[in-house]
Structure formats: structure tokens, C-alpha cells
Structure 1
Amino acid sequence: MDKMYRSTRNKELVLSAKEAILKGIADDGGLFVYDELDQISLPLKDMMDMTYEQMAEVVLTLLLPDFKEEEIKQCVKAAYEKQFDDEHITPLYSYQDTHILELFHGPTCAFKDIGLRMLPQLMSTALKGHDEEKIMILTATSGDTGKAALAGFCDVERIGITVFYPKEGVSSIQQLQMTTQEGKNTCVCALEGNFDDAQSSVKKVLHDASFAQELKQSKISFSSANSINIGRLIPQIVYYIYAYKELVRQGKIKLMEEVNFCVPTGNFGNVLAGYYAKLMGLPIHKLIVASNANHVLYDFLTSGVYDRNRPFHKTISPSMDILISSNLERLLYYKSGKNAAYIQMLMERLETRGSYRVEDELLKDIQNDFVGGYCDDEQCAREIKAFYEQSGYVMDPHTATGYKVMREYARQDKEHVCILLSTASPYKFAPSVYQALFKTCNMDEFACMEELERKSGAAIPQALRELKEKAVRHHDVIEKDAMREYVKNKTKEILL
């Protein structure tokens, strides 16, 4: 079995792809990476004639070599066939020179569906070689990951899932999507605090060696469905290639011509998938990182200092309300020459001091591929309205944040076509979108959705329309210090 995935913090900690997917996060707290990623070449010319599903098979085959060809085909079919409301999975919308890759056509109306329809399939396949073993997925969410993970893992055999979200830190629709989730293996709990509190608390449980040993006696292990799990991140590479193919097909670019991608991101996973695509040969000039008022990534990309010691802002783009961007660690690993000792040192500083500074040469190398920008709530609302008035197209606040940052960067780069990643349906944030377009919103969430549909002409996704009739099934709220005991009880309840 090919042991190809290493921890970012210890190059001697090596697992196969299946083992890394089941594990989720390394025992030393590092994230699994593939050292030879930059030596893989995508068959781009051939891929220009492929469907989305065929592209997914190619990418998974290249990066998950211990999965058999038939296993990958089955995973792709189960993940994507008849699961999305558009046959193209991630269709590309164009208005004049603006190109928007719509990633929200899955069952939970957010881009997380792309990875979280696939991860349960990969994990279930990998589990087949581990008789009687069970897994408890622990996941922190800033809004969209939670529902997508719950839907993906619902009633999957031998796997339980517990999702923690920040109380009052997600939109009403995002919360309702999670708390109405069915399934005998699902658990949802609100946490007093913000997303970073939830994420840090989950990581603490995942790294609790005595707790892990206790559960091992019952043949239960922990894993994660966040993008720290390589099995969640790899499927996201595909939509970058698909967007590129669509521009070639439409005659907007020629094959091998470089393009830019603008990506709204908080945890850095979405944009990191684009960097992986670039390492594998996709012609990308710049990856434009769009942040909201919590612009810790923008500050890092401009100064080389990552500092989470700052005020936390609750915004109308809550999925980006993050101050600890976990996947940045993977980028730093590759850009530092795969220097695990250096990454370990940086992550220790982040843990103990709340900040670190990278070397000037390393920052310059990062800036060769990445550029950042940010947008506050007031600017975001203006962008939603401005683009709607031009085109009749309704953006969600995360997409609008990216749109503003993309337009700003375009002033200095008129040479490259840019694709904006649209990460969620506007109906997941209907009050904010409605207020941006029509000024007042004194209705409840569902009345607001219906009025937004009536006035804008944009259809409400069926999955969100049906939420109104669903019963709330999950009511738990805990303090972050109570997570270990809560997880212990829920694991026994669900898996024993």
C-alpha cells in the first residue's frame, strides 16, 4: 500500500490515502499532505472533453492511488448522480465579462456539498478494510459545512457525526438546516462562543490521547469532515478544472491560457483546492482571496504576519467569520519547501502567542500566487444591489464579498479572465440579501424568502422551501469546556 500522505508537522508520520481519510487529522495536530503533488500532471487536453463526473474520476485516481478504479467510479456515481439540481454540478454563469462558478446546486445549497457528498463515499469505502471498526465524525461549522456533512453522512453505516456550531453565529436558515436534520447517527449542538472556539474545542477532543484510547477499546475512532480532512479537500479541485474547461468551450480563453480565480474564504480550504489544481498544472495566474471584516488572511497576505489576536466581527457573511484559517498550514508547508519542522514551529507560536510571522522570502513566494482583499457589510450590500441592477442576478453575501474584491483587483490586471466562485444560494441569507436589494425586511425568514423570490424572479431552492415544514430535532447548547463529556455521551448513544 502506497504510504504517500505525510503530516505537515512531522514527515515521519506517513499514511496511505485511505488511512489519511479515515484519520482526518494527524496525531501531532498536523494536516495530511502529498509531497509529490507538484509532480502530477493533469491530462488537461483530454479533460476539456470530459463531464464533471469524468473529471472527478481522473483527479481522485491521481491523488488516491490505493482506491481501485471501480471503487472510485462507485464513489463518484453515489456522490453526484441525481444529487444536484443542475446536470453540470457546478454551472458557469456569465454576464458580459463577469464569470460566476455556481457551487450551490447541491442538496444543502452551498459549495460544501461538492466535498461532502464525496467524503462519506470515500470513508465508507476505506472502512471496508477495517472490520467492526466505527468512526465518530466531529466537525465544527461556521454555517455551511455542518448541514452538508450531516446530509452526507446521514445513516451511513458504522459512522456517526456530531456537528458543533457557534450559538448566534450562523444564519437562521443555516441553523434550521442543521437542527432539523434527520438520521439515527446524527447529532447537532450549539456552542457558547464563536466558530474559532468551536473549531479549537473540536481539535482538542480529536487530540485527546486518553479519550481516544478509551474509545479504541470499543473499536471507535474519531475523524473530521472539515476541510482539514484530505478526502474533503481533494474533490474541490475538480470544479476549478471544470470552470476552466467551460471558458475554453465558450471561446473566452484558449487552452493553456492563464486565468484568475477569486474565492471568498475563511478557513482557506476552498482557495487551497485552487492552489492544488495549479500545482497539478491548471493554468492559474492568481488566486484572489476575498475576506470580510475578519480579514486576518488579507493582513497575512500583505504583511506576512498571521495574528488572530484581534476583535471578532459577526457579519452578514457568517461562513467567513473565522480568525484561525486551518488550511493555511498546508500552503505554508508547500511554500516552505515542505519543511515540517518550520511548520511545527509556526503552529506552536500560533497556539501559544496567537500569531506568527513568516520569512520575507516565503511571503514573496506566496504573493506570486495569491493576492488578498476584503469587504465590509456595507460594501457587500452595495455590491449585491449593484450587480442585481445591472444583470438581474442575485448574489449571496459571500459571493458579493468576492465580487467587490475581484473588481478591485481587475483594475490592475486587465490581461487575465477571472472566475468568481459563488459559494452559497442567496436564500440561505435571505434577510440580508432582501435588505440590500429592497431596503426593508420586517418579515420572518420564510416570508422574506418568498418576497425575495417574487420581486427578484430568482427561484427558491426546493430544499430550503421545504425547511418551513420540518420539525426541529436538535436543541442542545453547551459551553466549550463541556465538549469532551458531551462527545463521550453522544458517541456511546449513537455508536454503541
Structure 2
Amino acid sequence: MSTFYHSTRSTHKLLTSKQAILTGIAPDGGLFICDTLAKKHLDLQSVCNNSFMQNAELVLSTLLDDFTPGEIENCVKAAYGTGFDSDAITPITTLGNSWMLKLWHGPTSAFKDIALQMLPQLMSVSRQGDSRNVMIVTATSGDTGKAALAGFANVPGIGITVFYPEGKVSDVQRLQMITQTGSNVCVSAVRGNFDDIQTQVKNIFANHKLADDLAAQNTVLSSANSINIGRLVPQVVYYFDAYAQLVRSGALTLGDPLEFFVPTGNFGDVLAGYFAKLMGLPVAKLTVASNVNDVLYDFIRTGIYDRRRSFNKTISPSMDILVSSNLERLLYLLSDGNCELISNYMTQLTKQGFYQISDELLAKLQETFACGRADDTQTRAAIHTTWTNEKILIDTHTAVAVSVMNEAKPNCDCRVVLSTANAYKFSTDVLEALTGKACTLSGFEAMDALQDITNTTAPQMLSKLRTAAVLHPEICSIEDMDCVVSSACEKIL
């Protein structure tokens, strides 16, 4: 084994990938990272000859090399063997003169399924020989919650608590979470926005008294957000597999570059693309597509990360984020592992609400990353135009990336939009975009109307929510989240 993980804020304690996955977030508040990514080049010819499952085994065994080949193989089969309605898992299709990577063919119709069908498998293997129970604590801006709940429901020895911002997710996203079955699951709305909740989750992990109380119950905390390295690594797979599909289709010649347009909130999805680039994927550019909560857009242009701005509720709620946690990992990598610098940046962000990177670091950032933004009007226009011209139905997050791509100057011949959710998860807003009229229908009436005017079919797992029983109606304050976690620990099987 050659891969060890440590905090982005300190190199004092090295962990295996299994230990890092179980721990979730470093005790000092940093995120786990390894220093050997650029040395782990994958053979592109082999990648292009592989199926998605084979590429998953290749990427995971490379980055999580304390897992045995047999353990990785079993994890991949368990995660992707059933539950996806496409044999390709993440199929790529044409989008005009460009391409769209469809990441929503899993059980919850969102890209989070790719990682959150895998993470429970990795975590179950990691805790073998460890008698402690694990409580997953997760903040969600929409899609992570349901995908994590679906992945961890009824997993022995593991419980899961999901917090989401009250009134700031779509109706379908909310119903997906509050109807989740499983004796080890807990879901609660929180009075606040996603950033408030994510900050409090980090505080919960840093709460030593809570940790001691849970230790007395033989329980430790971990995370299913992309702050957990076990969530991030599986997302690297679909970047390599997209390249393989394009080479096999003849759209690319082996070695040709491509660029990706990624709707971005917490920065995990696009960071996985940077991991792939470091591992040898010929990425010309990674374009971060933001909505009007455009803190990343401003940062990539100016080098100033400033969360001191109004929080806007948009029709792309999973991107309504002002503190993008995974950016910390990128800055660590770009700064050649300068833990002190990263720790200082994060302290400034916490205490002052902003930080500014050096001109040298900004130049390195802009070598790979570009940015664009789209407001709700532009997002609706992209949905309408894509359906009118291509007869492709896209959701409100994918549409942000499509809008940004349509305005951007190409960096190479092959451009790929990451499509992160099925359009029916946001039926009301998609319907409004197609008709140009304000929608007064209920969520499921809008779903039915959308099916009628497009002659498409909503995924069964979404349409059946209309008859599902509400099991988790709870709402709590930010201050009460730790109490919710304590009570949820009693539900672990």
C-alpha cells in the first residue's frame, strides 16, 4: 500500500483510506487528501477498453489501495450491479454539437447515486473488525440526502441522520427524504439555509463532549457529504468512463483533450474531474457553472472568496451554496500541500467571511478552471431551447451548465455537460420553463402535465412518491441539531 490520507490542514497524522472513510472529516476540521494523485496515472488505452464497472474497480483500487482487489470487486458489484436503469450506468449522449453525461440513472434520479451507492459498501468493509457503530451525519442542499438515505437504509451497524433546509429544496426532493423507510434513518428539516446547516454539521463533528457521550454508547460519527473521501473517489470514475465512451464512439481519438461543464455548489463534482486530470485524463478545462449564488464564479475570476453576500433561493436549489467545502482540497493541491496556508485561509473565512489567494495561486487555478453563471431566466431559457431544438428534457441544474456552455468560447473540439438530475425532480420549474407561464399546479400535477406536453415518462421512483407515507415530518433549529443526532444514534441496528 502506498496511499495514505491526512488533513488538508496538517500532515501530522496519516490514515489509510479505510480509516479516512470511517472518520469522514479530520479532527482539525480539514478534509482528507493524499499527496500522490499526480503519480497515479491510469493507462488510457486500458480505460477505453473497460466497461464502467471495470473502470470503477480500476479507479477505486488505485486511490483506495488498502482495500483488497476482492473487496473492491464486491463493492462495485453491490453498488452498481442493480438499481441503475442503464447498463452503461452513466451513459453519454449527443447534445447538439456537444455531449451530455447523464448521471441520474440510479435509484434516486440524481448524480449523487454514483457515489452514495458505493460509500455504504466501502464503509461496511472499512468497519470490519471494528465493533463500534457509525452514525452518518449529513447536510444536504437537495440530492445528497435522499441518495445517502437510500444507500445506508438498514445497513447493519450504521445509522444515518440527514438535515435539509426547510423550504429550500424542491417538493420532490423533500418527499424523497421524508418518506424514506428504514429503522436506522433520521431526517429533519432545519430552520436555516444549507450553509448554516453544513457549518453546524462541522461543529457537531468538532464537539468533543458529544463525541465522548457517543463513545460511551460505542458510536462514532462520520459523513456522507463529499467532505468524505469515500464519497469523492467514486465520482472520479465517470470522468474516465465518459472519455472511454467518446473514444469508442469515434468522437475522440485516444489522447485528444476534452472539456467539462459542471453545475457546481459544494465543489465535489468538479473536484473529481480535477482528480481525473491529475491521474492522466486529458482535460483541457473544467468550467464551473454557477447560479446567482455566484461565490465560485467571483473566486475563479478574482482569487477572492467572499461569502459575505445575500443568499438567494433559486430554481436550482442544490447549487444554492455560499461555502463550497471541497474547494479546500483544491487549494491544498494547487499550493503544493501548504497546510499552514490552507489553515489560514479557512480561519479567515470563518472569522472574517473571506480570504484572498495569491496571484501565483490564482494563475495556477485558472490554468485548469474556467467559470460562468446563469440566473433563473437564463436557466429557463436553456431548458426551453434544449427541448425545442433537441427534444432533450433537462433539469434546472443541468440547464445552468448548458447556458454557461452556450456562452463560452470552446477550449477544444469536444465539450461535455454533466447532467446531474432527472428533470422530473423539478417538474414545476421545468414546466414553467417550457410553457413560459407561472405554474399554479401541485408538484405531482406538474409532473403529470410535463409528461403530457413532452410525451416523456417520469421515473417510477419519483411518481410513486405521491402515495408514499410521510415518516419524517420533524423540523428543528440549528441549535437543536446535536440533540437530533444523539437521539438518532439509538436507532442504529
Q: Which structure 2 residues correspond to residues 425-436 of structure 1 after superposition, within 5 A?
A: 425-436=422-433
1:252-401 aligned at under 5 Å gives the runs 252-401=251-400
Q: Which residues of 2 match residues 185-204 of structure 1 at below 5 A?
A: 185-204=184-203
Contact 1:258 1:283 (C-alpha < 8 Å) held by counterparts: yes
Pair 1:56 & 2:56 matched: yes
Return the alpha-carbon distance in structure 1 between the equivalents of residues 402 and 481 of structure 2: 38
Structure 1: distance between partners of 2:241 and 2:192: 38
Paired position in structure 2 for 1:114: 114
Query: Are residue 46 (structure 1) and residue 46 (structure 2) matched?
Result: yes
> Are 2:404 and 1:417 aligned?
no
2:483 corresponds in structure 1 to 485
User: What is the CA-CA distance between 1:457 and the residue it aligns to?
Assistant: 2.0
| CA contact 2:257–2:412 (8 Å) conserved in 1 | no
**Residue of structure 1 in register with 2:473 after alignment:** 475
Deviations 1:279-312 (A, max 9, x none): 0000000000000010000000000000001000
Q: 1:487 Cα deviation (Å)?
A: 1.5
**5+ residue gaps, structure 2:** none
1:91 aligns with 2:91: yes
Match of 1:18 in 2: 18
Query: Matches of 2:160 and 2:227 in 1, distance apart?
Result: 16
Judge conservation of contact 2:138–2:201 (CA < 8 Å) in 1: yes
Contact 2:60 2:72 in 1 (8 A): yes
- Count of residue correspondences: 492
CA offset digits 1:328-371 (Å, max 9, x no partner) = 00000000011011100000001101100000000000000000
CA separation in 2, counterparts of 1:265 and 1:143? 13
On the 8 A contact 1:56/1:235 being kept in 2, the answer is yes
Q: Distance in 2 between matches of 1:207 and 1:90?
A: 36
Q: Distance in 2 between matches of 1:68 and 1:359?
A: 41
Q: Whole-Å Cα distance in 2 between the matches of residues 48 and 169 of structure 1?
A: 40
Partner Cα separation in structure 1 for residue 412 and residue 55 of structure 2: 28
Contact 2:156 2:492 in 1 (8 A): no
SS state of the match for residue 288, structure 1? strand
User: Secondary structure at the residue paired with 2:199?
Assistant: helix
**Paired position in structure 2 for 1:437:** 434
Structure 2: which amino acid aligns with 1:109? Answer: S
1:42-95 per-position Cα deviation (integer Å, ceiling 9, x unaligned): 121011111100000000110111101110000000000121011100011103
Supply the RMSD in Å over aligned alpha carbons: 1.0
Q: Secondary structure at the match of 1:465?
A: helix
Distance 1:111 1:263 in 2: 12
- Using the alignment, how far apart are the partners of 1:264 and 1:42 within structure 2? 26
Please say if residues 191 and 198 of structure 1, whose CA atoms lie closer than 8 Å, have aligned partners that are also in contact: yes
1:420 alignment partner, SS class: strand
Residue by residue, what CA displacement relative to the aligned partner does 1:186-239 show, whole Å, maximum 9, x if unpaired? 000000010001101111001111211221122100000000000000000010
Question: How far apart in 1 are the matches of 2:219 and 2:243?
Answer: 42
Matched with 1:143 is 142
- Cα distance in 1 for partners of 2:72, 2:157 equals 20
How far residue 415 of structure 1 moved from its aligned partner, in angstroms, is 3.3
Report deviation, 1:23: 0.3
Contact residue 2 and residue 16 of structure 1 kept, 8 A: no
3-state secondary structure, aligned to 2:21: helix
CA displacement, residues 230-275 of structure 1 (integer Å, 9 cap, x when unaligned): 0000000010111111111111111011110000010000000000
AA aligned opposite 1:251: G
Moved more, 460-469 or 2-11: 2-11
Deviation sequence 1:434-471 (CA, Å, 0-9, x none) = 00001332221111111101111222111101111110
* Residue equivalent to 1:463: 461
Matched position secondary structure for 1:12: coil
Q: Which letter does structure 1 place at the counterpart of 2:126? A: A
Structure 2 letter corresponding to 1:293: V
Q: CA deviation at 1:3?
A: 6.3
Task: For structure 1, list consecutive stretches of 5 or more residues without a partner in the other structure.
Answer: none
Amino acid at match of 1:277: A
Aligned to 2:449: 451
Q: What secondary structure, in the 3-state scheme, does the structure 2 residue paired with 1:10 have? A: coil
Alpha-carbon deviation of 1:474? Answer: 0.1
1:19 to partner: Cα distance: 0.1
- Which amino acid in the other structure matches residue 465 of structure 2? L
> In structure 2, what residue type is equivalent to 1:126?
S
Instruction: For 2:241 and 2:167, locate their aligned partners in 1 and report how far apart those are by CA, in whole Å.
Output: 36
Counterparts of residues 174-189 of structure 1 (less than 5 Å): 174-189=173-188
CA distance in 2, matches of 1:495, 1:422: 34
TM-score between the two structures when normalised by the length of structure 2: 0.98
Tell me how far apart the structure 1 counterparts of residues 221 and 361 of structure 2 sit (CA, whole Å): 34
Identity between Structure 1 and Structure 2 (%): 49
Q: Is the 8 A contact 1:37 1:279 kept in 2?
A: yes
Letter in 1 for 2:435: F
Q: Which amino acid aligns with 1:25?
A: I
Q: Partners of 1:221 and 1:153 in 2: how far apart? A: 16
**Secondary structure of the structure 1 residue equivalent to 2:117:** helix
In structure 2, the CA distance between the partners of 1:105 and 1:406, relative to structure 1 (3 Å rule), is: same
Contact kept, 8 Å, 2:3 with 2:63, in 1: the verdict is: no
Residue 220 of structure 1 aligns with which residue?
219
Residue 414 of structure 1: CA displacement? 5.7
Q: Distance in 1 between matches of 2:5 and 2:457?
A: 43
The secondary structure found in structure 1 opposite 2:355 is strand
Contact preservation (8 Å) 1:3, 1:14: no
**For the residues of structure 2 that align with 1:68 and 1:3, how far apart are their CA atoms?**
13
AA of the residue aligned to 1:211: L
Deviation string 1:104-133 (CA, Å, 9 cap, x unpaired) is: 000000000000000000000011121x21
